């Protein structure tokens, strides 16, 4: 009989419970961080919106500053030109749109009454279809009536009318049975009070000073960032210790700069062409203020998917006010939809680089999320922020799979290349030479 000492017993593997608990704890911490981050972004929207917009505009316009610097133009002068150019462009667009918008505000009561009449006509048409369907059901079921008032020979007809001042008239006519009683008519005047809450125009005017203040803050911050030259890049590079990390950070910054400039530049030109095309189409359809339709299409098309839907609905509603039939408004809305479809399916994919194409589902969810957080401004900056995240994921170790998830249908790049080849490829992506990277990183190390 052999004695077994405790040393002779095989060692059992460690229980996997500590690793599982550790993973659950890590994911819980990440979840709490995301909840706090979303709350902060939503709570500090008045501050974060202009800061985020200024950062995006900085990456877009910094190549222009470098181009002017080649001709001896200083950074402060370039920043002044760029800031004033943005201000004058926004003011020009607002001035062009102010006339048609003022005219629409003056005609608001007539427009509202006209739309109400058209909607009443549409509801009447549907009501006739419903009555015809009910009669067919009665015939199919063998006759009979479910109307209690018809059982005793009395028919009640109620009509409601209103005017722009809020005065509503309810007129009820009771027709008795044919035994000799006379029909009776009762008219009741009702005053509708709609002044309990602020009007839409009042809310828009109340938001005016806050929006103007955020615009000024954005332009001032953009001026200081551009006038500082490459100081922001230098400070970010200096925040890393190793030369490889400094190089990776600088390449990532330059690639973000090139990607945003390419994307927003191409999108702006495409949207301008789309606005001109839609303005001409609305003029052909004899729609009111075709120039305003073009400006609306230019602005709305910066919002993926939802902007095109809003433009189609807007054109259909205005066409209902202009035309007496229902078929022509459908043609007007179809024209808008057709032009935006050509732009979205043919023109934009052709002119925008393939490496900037993103996952469609991710883009839609991102736009919806930022619309929930920051409303219209969030929908505009959603895709540029997604482009920045896509570029960063290609340079941050461990985020390659996440970046591949964000990207569109792009072939996978080889992973067995040498470090030198990867550096050269990243330099080409960032649109800079190896000498520029070397000088930037050596300067950061020296300081």
Same domain, 219 and 356: no
Task: Tell me, yes or no, whether 173 lies in a domain.
Answer: no
Same domain, 218 and 293: no
Domain count, the chain: 2
Domain edge (last residue) among 181, 196, 229: 229
Task: Tell me, yes or no, whether 150 lies in a domain.
Answer: no
Which tens digits make up the pLDDT trace of 32-80?
Answer: 988 998 899 889 988 999 999 999 999 889 989 989 988 988 889 999 9
Residue 312: per-residue pLDDT:
93
Same domain, 133 and 246: no
Report the share of the chain in percent with pLDDT over 70: 67
Residue 138: per-residue pLDDT:
72
Same domain, 319 and 218: no
Same domain, 425 and 278: yes
**For residues 155 and 149, is the Cβ–Cβ distance under 8 A?**
yes
**For residues 246 and 444, is the Cβ–Cβ distance under 8 A?**
yes
Task: Tell me, yes or no, whether 167 lies in a domain.
Answer: no
Domain that holds residue 25: 19-138+213-229
Does the pLDDT value for residue 81 go beyond 90? yes
Same domain, 217 and 301: no
Does the pLDDT value for residue 447 go beyond 70? no
Which tens digits make up the pLDDT trace of 87-103?
Answer: 998 888 888 877 777 77
Which tens digits make up the pLDDT trace of 274-301?
Answer: 999 999 999 999 988 888 899 999 999 9
Does the pLDDT value for residue 423 go beyond 50? no
Does the pLDDT value for residue 441 go beyond 70? no
Token look-up 């659950």 returns 24
Same domain, 224 and 339: no
Tokens in use for 80? 């002044």
The span from the CA of 86 to the CA of 222, in Å, is 11
Tokens in use for 197? 């809450």
The span from the CA of 110 to the CA of 115, in Å, is 9
Same domain, 375 and 352: yes
The span from the CA of 33 to the CA of 30, in Å, is 5
Report the share of the chain in percent with pLDDT over 90: 18
Most confident of 18-22, 131-135, 181-185, 205-209: 131-135
Task: Tell me, yes or no, whether 318 lies in a domain.
Answer: yes
Does the pLDDT value for residue 358 go beyond 80? yes
Same domain, 217 and 275: no
Task: Tell me, yes or no, whether 144 lies in a domain.
Answer: no
Of 57, 50, 83, whose CA–CA distance to 223 is shortest? Answer: 83
Same domain, 129 and 248: no
Residue 273: per-residue pLDDT:
94
What confidence tier does 325 reach under pLDDT thresholds 50, 70, 90? confident
The span from the CA of 56 to the CA of 86, in Å, is 14
Residue 174 bridge partners (DSSP): 156, 184
Residue 379: per-residue pLDDT:
87
Does the pLDDT value for residue 272 go beyond 70? yes
Residue 83: per-residue pLDDT:
93
Does the pLDDT value for residue 206 go beyond 70? no
Average pLDDT over the chain reads: 76
Task: Tell me, yes or no, whether 122 lies in a domain.
Answer: yes
Task: Tell me, yes or no, whether 1 lies in a domain.
Answer: no
Does the pLDDT value for residue 12 go beyond 70? no
Same domain, 113 and 235: no
Does the pLDDT value for residue 389 go beyond 80? yes
Residue 285: per-residue pLDDT:
92
Tell me what the mean pLDDT of segment 218-241 comes to. 89
Residue 420: per-residue pLDDT:
44
The span from the CA of 275 to the CA of 292, in Å, is 9
Tell me what the mean pLDDT of segment 203-219 comes to. 76
What confidence tier does 360 reach under pLDDT thresholds 50, 70, 90? confident
Please report how the helices 243-284 and 434-446 are oriented relative to each other, as an axis angle in degrees rounded to 10: 130
Residue 175 bridge partners (DSSP): 155
Range of weakest confidence among 20-29, 212-221, 280-289: 20-29
Domain edge (last residue) among 229, 253, 286: 229
Of 389, 61, 383, whose CA–CA distance to 225 is shortest? Answer: 61
Tell me what the mean pLDDT of segment 397-403 comes to. 84
Residue 29: per-residue pLDDT:
86
Task: Tell me, yes or no, whether 298 lies in a domain.
Answer: yes
Measure CA of the first residue to CA of the last residue in the chain; give whole Å: 76
Residue 151: per-residue pLDDT:
46
Which tens digits make up the pLDDT trace of 235-258?
Answer: 888 888 888 888 888 888 888 888
Same domain, 40 and 87: yes
Question: Cα separations (Å) of 443 from 6, 250, 439?
Answer: 63, 12, 6
Does the pLDDT value for residue 156 go beyond 60? no
Question: CB-based contacts of 341: which residues, under 8 Å, 6+ apart?
Answer: none
Domain edge (last residue) among 175, 200, 229: 229
The span from the CA of 11 to the CA of 152, in Å, is 95
Does the pLDDT value for residue 318 go beyond 80? yes
Residue 110: per-residue pLDDT:
72
Largest CA distance in the chain: 122
Range of weakest confidence among 123-127, 229-233, 272-276, 433-437: 433-437
Q: Does the pTM exceed 0.85? A: no
Residue 10: per-residue pLDDT:
54
Tokens in use for 174? 């009771």
What confidence tier does 149 reach under pLDDT thresholds 50, 70, 90? very low
Greater confidence (134 vs 221) lies with 221
Three-state SS for the chain is: CCCCCHHHCCCCCCCCHHHHHHHHHHHHHHHHHHHHHHHHHHHCHHHHHHHHHHHHHHHHHHHHHHHHHCCCCCHHHHHHHHHHHHHHHHHHHHHHHHHHHHHHHHCHHHHHHHHHHHHHHHHHHHHHHHHHHHHHHHHHHCCCCCCHHHHCCCEEEEEEEECCCCEEEEEEEEECCCCCCCCEEEEEEEECCCCCCCCHHHHHHHHHHHHHHHHHHHHHHHHHHHHCCCHHHHHHHHCCCCHHHHHHHHHHHHHHHHHHHHHHHHHHHHHHHHHHHHHHHHHHCCCCCHHHHHHHHHHHCCCCCHHHHHHHHHHHHHHHHHCCCCHHHHHHHHHHHHHHHHHHHHHHHHHCCHHHCECHHHHHHHHHHHHHHHHHHHHHHHHHHHHHHHHHHCCCCCCHHHHHHHECCCCCCCCCCCHHHHHHHHHHHCCCCHHHHHHHHHHHHHC
The length of the chain is 447
């Amino acid at each position: 009989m052999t004695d077994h000492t405790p040393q002779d017993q095989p060692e059992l593997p460690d229980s996997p419970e500590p690793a599982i608990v550790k993973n659950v704890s890590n994911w819980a911490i990440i979840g709490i961080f995301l909840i706090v981050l979303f709350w902060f972004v939503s709570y500090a929207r008045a501050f974060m919106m202009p800061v985020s917009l200024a950062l995006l505009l900085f990456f877009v316009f910094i190549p222009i500053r470098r181009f002017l610097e080649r001709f001896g133009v200083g950074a402060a002068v370039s920043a002044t030109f760029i800031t004033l150019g943005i201000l004058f462009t926004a003011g020009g667009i607002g001035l062009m749109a102010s006339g048609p918008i003022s005219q629409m505000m003056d005609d608001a009561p007539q427009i509202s009454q006209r739309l109400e009449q058209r909607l009443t006509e549409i509801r009447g048409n549907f009501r006739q279809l419903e009555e015809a369907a009910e009669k067919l059901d009665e015939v199919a079921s063998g006759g009979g009536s479910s109307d209690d008032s018809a059982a005793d020979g009395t028919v009640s007809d109620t009509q409601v009318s209103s005017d722009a001042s809020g005065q509503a008239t309810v007129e009820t006519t009771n027709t008795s049975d044919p035994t000799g009683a006379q029909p009776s008519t009762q008219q009741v005047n009702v005053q509708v009070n709609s002044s309990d809450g602020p009007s839409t125009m009042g809310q828009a005017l109340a938001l005016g000073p806050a929006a103007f203040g955020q615009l000024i803050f954005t332009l001032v911050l953009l001026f200081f960032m551009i006038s500082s030259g490459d100081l922001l890049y230098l400070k970010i590079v200096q925040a890393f210790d190793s030369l490889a990390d400094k190089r990776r950070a600088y390449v990532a910054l330059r690639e973000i700069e090139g990607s945003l400039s390419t994307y927003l530049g191409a999108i702006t030109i495409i949207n301008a062409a789309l606005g001109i095309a839609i303005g001409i189409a609305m003029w052909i359809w004899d729609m009111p203020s075709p120039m305003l339709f073009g400006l609306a299409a230019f602005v709305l098309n910066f919002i993926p998917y939802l902007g095109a839907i809003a433009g189609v609905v807007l054109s259909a509603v205005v066409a209902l006010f202009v035309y007496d039939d229902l078929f022509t408004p459908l043609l007007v809305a179809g024209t808008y939809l057709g032009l935006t479809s050509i732009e979205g399916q043919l023109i934009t994919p052709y002119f925008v680089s393939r490496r900037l194409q993103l996952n469609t589902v991710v883009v839609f969810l991102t736009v919806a999320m930022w619309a929930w957080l920051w409303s219209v401004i969030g929908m505009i900056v959603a895709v540029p922020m997604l482009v920045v995240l896509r570029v960063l994921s290609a340079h941050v170790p461990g985020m390659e799979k996440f970046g591949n998830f964000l990207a569109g249908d792009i072939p996978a790049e080889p992973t067995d290349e040498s470090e030198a080849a990867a550096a050269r490829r990243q330099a080409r992506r960032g649109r800079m030479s190896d000498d520029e990277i070397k000088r930037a990183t050596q300067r950061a190390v020296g300081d």
